[in-house]
């Protein structure tokens, strides 16, 4: 693997970890504020835009826009938002209360300050590169969000899988992508279960129903396949391949590899199947 390929792989893995950390932060903030996801989307829109017409607030929720009425009601009951007259244009508007603004500053203020601190030393040209990349990445993310949402339109797929007791196609894909991006580090059942939205116990049972193997066996298979690829395409030592694919030691790597493939890593490196 070239330095460029290694760097791209590292960036890909870091993007996944950044998304997970961002989601973790949002979930913690949501728990502190005792709000749902739709409520948080409305709160964010109000924070950045100020007073927003109710008929435009639904845009913040995307596919969950049907939850607008409930979200607005919860924000009002919690004292985070209030309705205001729409003025000459008609229609009510919604705005944050001072109580909500204090919470926003408490929760997100330090994060924003640290972000600015990270960017402050960078020259303008580097900031422009980052800005262009983020803009392009956002477009890619939105494109693929639409593609994934379209899977919900496939009649009966998710419903049938649920009836069989397995994972939904979307949840299974989230788990598979997470595994692929993190083969080089320890992967625990809890990590995988979080991507499915299930408890570890129910996730393990549903995963085996969908894939025919346990989550642990699946991770081992994927590590062996990645190792097999590295053995054939790189000159890394067996120890380096073992560590890069998440095995604790070369001996552990050899044991698992032989159990899964029937061959030793050395035989595969020499051209064996």
- On the question of pLDDT at 161 being above 60, the answer is no
Q: What confidence tens digit (pLDDT) does each residue in 3-40 have?
A: 888 888 888 888 878 888 888 888 888 888 888 878 88
Q: How confident is the model at residue 269 (pLDDT cuts 50, 70, 90)?
A: confident
- On the question of pLDDT at 72 being above 80, the answer is yes
Count CB atoms within 10 A of the CB of residue 46: 24
Quote the DSSP letter at residue 264.
-
Say if CB 190 and CB 147 are below 8 A apart. no
Residue 18: burial class (beta carbons within 10 Å; 0-12, 13-18, 19+): exposed
Q: What sign does the CA torsion over 5, 7, 13, 16 have?
A: negative
The single residue listed with the structure tokens 């499915």 is 196
pLDDT at site 153 = 57
- On the question of pLDDT at 157 being above 70, the answer is no
pLDDT at site 66 = 64
Say if CB 261 and CB 268 are below 8 A apart. yes
| Tokens (6 digits) for 234 | 């790189």
- On the question of pLDDT at 163 being above 50, the answer is no
Q: How confident is the model at residue 160 (pLDDT cuts 50, 70, 90)?
A: very low
> Could you give the maximum distance between any two Cα atoms of the chain, in Å?
79
Count CB atoms within 10 A of the CB of residue 206: 23
pLDDT at site 132 = 94
pLDDT at site 50 = 87
Q: What class, spelled out in words, does domain 34-116 have in CATH? A: mainly alpha
Nearest alpha carbon to residue 57 among 21, 70, 133: 70
This prediction's pTM: 0.52
Q: What confidence tens digit (pLDDT) does each residue in 185-205 have?
A: 889 999 899 888 888 889 999
pLDDT at site 216 = 93
More confident position, 158 or 139: 139
| Tokens (6 digits) for 247 | 């095995």
d(CA 85, CA 226): 60
Helix 37-49, helix 98-119: angle, nearest 10:
80
Q: What confidence tens digit (pLDDT) does each residue in 81-132 have?
A: 998 886 665 678 889 999 999 999 999 999 999 999 999 999 999 999 999 9
Q: CATH classification of 218-269 is 1.10.10.60, yes or no?
A: yes
Continuous H helices in the chain: 3-33, 37-49, 54-57, 68-77, 98-119, 124-150, 157-164, 169-181, 189-196, 200-211, 215-233, 238-244, 250-261, 265-269
């Amino acid at each position: 693997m070239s330095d460029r390929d290694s760097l791209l792989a590292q960036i890909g893995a870091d993007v996944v970890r950044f998304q997970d950390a961002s989601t973790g932060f949002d979930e913690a903030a949501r728990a502190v504020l005792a709000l749902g996801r739709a409520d948080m989307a409305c709160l964010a829109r109000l924070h950045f835009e100020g007073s927003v017409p109710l008929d435009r607030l639904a845009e913040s929720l995307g596919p969950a826009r049907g939850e607008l009425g409930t979200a607005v009601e919860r924000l009002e009951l919690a004292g985070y938002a209030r309705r205001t007259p729409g003025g000459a244009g008609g229609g009510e508007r919604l705005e944050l209360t001072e109580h909500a603004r204090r919470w926003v500053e408490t929760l997100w203020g330090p994060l924003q300050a640290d972000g600015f601190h990270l960017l402050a030393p960078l020259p303008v040209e580097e900031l422009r590169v980052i800005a262009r990349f983020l803009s392009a990445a956002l477009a890619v993310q939105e494109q693929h969000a639409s593609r994934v949402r379209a899977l919900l339109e496939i009649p009966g797929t998710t419903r049938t899988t649920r009836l069989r007791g397995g994972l939904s196609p979307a949840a299974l894909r989230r788990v598979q992508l997470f595994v692929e991006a993190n083969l080089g580090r320890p992967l625990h059942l809890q990590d995988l279960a979080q991507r499915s939205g299930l408890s570890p116990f129910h996730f393990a049972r549903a995963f085996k129903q969908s894939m025919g193997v346990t989550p642990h066996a699946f991770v081992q298979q994927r590590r062996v396949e990645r190792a097999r690829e590295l053995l054939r395409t790189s000159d890394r030592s067996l120890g380096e391949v073992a560590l890069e694919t998440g095995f604790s030691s070369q001996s552990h790597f050899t044991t698992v590899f032989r159990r899964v493939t029937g061959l030793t890593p050395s035989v595969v490196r020499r051209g064996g199947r």
